[in-house]
Structure 1
Amino acid sequence: MRAFFGKILSKRKKEDRTTMKKLLIVGLGNPGPKYHNTRHNIGFKILDFLADSKDLSFAPDRLADKTEFNFKGRKFILIKPTTFMNLSGKAVRYWMDKENIAIENLLVITDDLNLEFGTIRLKGKGSDGGHNGLKNIQELLNTTKYPRFRFGIGNQFSKGQQIGYVLDEWHAEENEKMKERLEKSTELILSFGTAGIHNTMNAFNGK
């Protein structure tokens, strides 16, 4: 009898491992060295920093570069779409379907002109705010109700110069502060996956 219940417990533990909560973390940006250190690619930059902290590297996969790791009983799947910004939704939808990710376990990381440099803000829903990557995701998921993590890039540009500004590289003073902001951003991502969106919003928004 003891052996019988031992087998049941062993089976349950195995099932628990196979049903580990999965999260899809999407950093928005444009592929290629031309865009590597531009403001518009902060989503890629944050995920690169997180992957480096875990001694991981990204590998090419369907519609995205991808890596993953387990942390506190959660599986974090990180993707950087290779579709270019305006078609980001294709990669998001594909990987959500492939990995069977619930919409509340999706986190999209994007730049935000309306926030001062380095300001971080997590929200559970919202408009695309004129951001083409978010716009395409919204269209393909058919909803605005998905978590997004906005990283402020400021709006220090002249009238008509927005595109040049977001596709320009960071200034020296921004680069000096970047490491601390990247560390805080990775902490937010891990908290989102383990503590939930509301606790994470309270702990990190505006910090």
Structure 2
Amino acid sequence: MFAIVGLGNPGKQYSGTRHNVGFDTIDYLAERNNVNLTKMKYNAVYGETHIGGQKAILVKPLTYMNRSGESILQIYNYYKMPASNIIVIYDDIDIDLGVLRIRPKGSAGSHNGMKSVIYHLQDDKFPRIRIGIGRNEGNQDLADYVLGRFNKEEREIIDDTIERAAKAVEMIITDGANKAMNAYNG
């Protein structure tokens, strides 16, 4: 079984923001796999499906970004799955807009949501898909930047990237993270 977790912030005021591309990817996967994200448990909204013959849950934590690990820990403990079967999708300001970076394990970098996940799981050996949102070029505060929305041109790029991220999730499940890295990184 796999848990596919998109990081983001709940609430309409955060919908469509740079920080919520993880949530957007879960929404896209749900639509692609005909899943209703209507179940509430684990401090998350989620839905169940099968991807590549494997049971999978699509998860959007409701704990807000900086406490995402609390929700993921509940799922991890309930399903008794290995950390390596948790796939986390999130935004990254240190990657150019629209670029994907898939890794089978690693540090949180500067991302507070990932710091929470690693802290709560006490493990960093799980695949992650980082979606490049680009760096703030102006003097805008970092929080304002990541909680801001994409312009029309950026949104088109991100929508394509979200689709590729969803396909990368499916490939991680069916063929492993290394194959997905070769196919989708860059």
TM interval, shorter chain, is over 0.9
In structure 1, the residue matched to 2:22 is 43
- Aligned CA-pair RMSD: 1.3
Secondary structure of 2:90's match?
strand
Counterparts in 2 of 1:93-132, with a 5 A limit?
93-132=73-112
* Residue 30 (structure 2) pairs with residue 30 (structure 1): no
Structure 2 portions without partners, runs of 5+: none
Runs of 4+ deviating beyond 6 Å: none
What amino acid is aligned across from residue 132 of structure 2 in structure 1?
G
Check if 1:190 corresponds to 2:162. no
Name the CA shift for 1:71/1:128 in 2 (closer, same or farther; >3 Å): closer
SS in 1 for 2:20: helix
State the Cα distance separating 1:159 from its structure 2 match: 4.1
CA distance in 1, matches of 2:15, 2:36: 16
* 1:177 maps onto 2:181 in alignment: no
Deviations 1:28-74 (A, max 9, x none): 00000000110000000001011011222211223000012113321
Q: Following the alignment from structure 1 to structure 2, what is the Cα–Cα distance between the partners of residues 98 and 143? A: 17
> How many Å separate the matches in 2 of 1:145 and 1:62?
21
CA-to-partner distance for each residue in 1:166-196, whole Å, 9 max, x for gaps? 0001111111223322221111010010101
Measured in 2, the distance between the counterparts of 1:143 and 1:185 equals 23
Count, aligned residues: 185
SS at match of 2:148: coil
Q: Is the 8 A contact 1:116 1:155 kept in 2?
A: yes
SS of 1:47 mapped into structure 2:
helix
Give the secondary-structure state (helix, strand or coil) at the position aligned to 1:24: strand
Stretch moving more, 85-94 or 123-132: 123-132
Q: 1:61 aligns to what?
A: 41
Unaligned runs of 5+ in 1: 1-21
Amino acid at match of 2:89: I
